[in-house]
A and B are shown apart, each in its own frame.
Chain A
């Protein structure tokens, strides 16, 4: 079974600075997808960024980018120019490319932005 681990329960960063959230995963599959979801205090789960395992190029979405290291099974999220609205729980998730497309989540990292 696949597992996802987020080893940083909490992180904090100064507004306008850059922060990196870590995620590692374990799988024997070669084809899969990785995601970062954001959960603000409203509780809504919001997709931040997605990475296909077969793509070597790291995904980027505006101020959000990932460092995908397939051999190391690492998938970190970098947030540049941090804003107060980035404060939230961040979840890393894995999904196999086969089967029912179930998501396996990490434990989450709570990100605080200091003004």
Chain B
């Protein structure tokens, strides 16, 4: 298994509170990604990073921010959680080589009440 750890694995929070999800890798891969999974939509990209302090928006970035201060850590922050952000969140990592594969973490189930 690729060395990817997501924390927490489960979280219940209230509307309006800030939430931070953490993705930690031990593979030293350059690329890191945050996706959300919702029924009927598959996985959709929120934000991604192509290096330390280098990040960019994905398809569904509104209401989310990210930070990457170290190669191994990629944080996803919901500044003020809303019920529409109830979802399962996946982190993925990928090396630079063009034929590479993305490896996924185990996911974080977030419920915003």
How many angstroms between the C-alpha atoms of A33 and B94 in the bound complex? Answer: 14
The answer to the question of B83 belonging to the interface, with a C-beta cut-off of 8 Å to chain A, is no
The answer to the question of B74 belonging to the interface, with a C-beta cut-off of 8 Å to chain A, is no
**Could you count the A-B residue pairs with CB atoms below 8 Å apart for me: how many are there?**
50
Residues of B within 8 A of A52 (CB): 99
Interface size on B, as a range, is 20 to 34
Check A100/B56 contact, CB under 8 A, given A45-B90, A105-B42, A105-B43: yes
19 contacts between A and B (CB under 8 A): A4-B42, A6-B42, A33-B99, A43-B106, A43-B107, A44-B104, A45-B104, A91-B42, A97-B98, A100-B31, A101-B31, A101-B102, A102-B33, A102-B58, A103-B35, A103-B43, A103-B45, A105-B35, A107-B42
Interface residues of B (CB under 8 A from A): 31, 33, 35, 40-45, 48, 50, 56, 58, 88, 90, 92, 94, 98-102, 104, 106-107
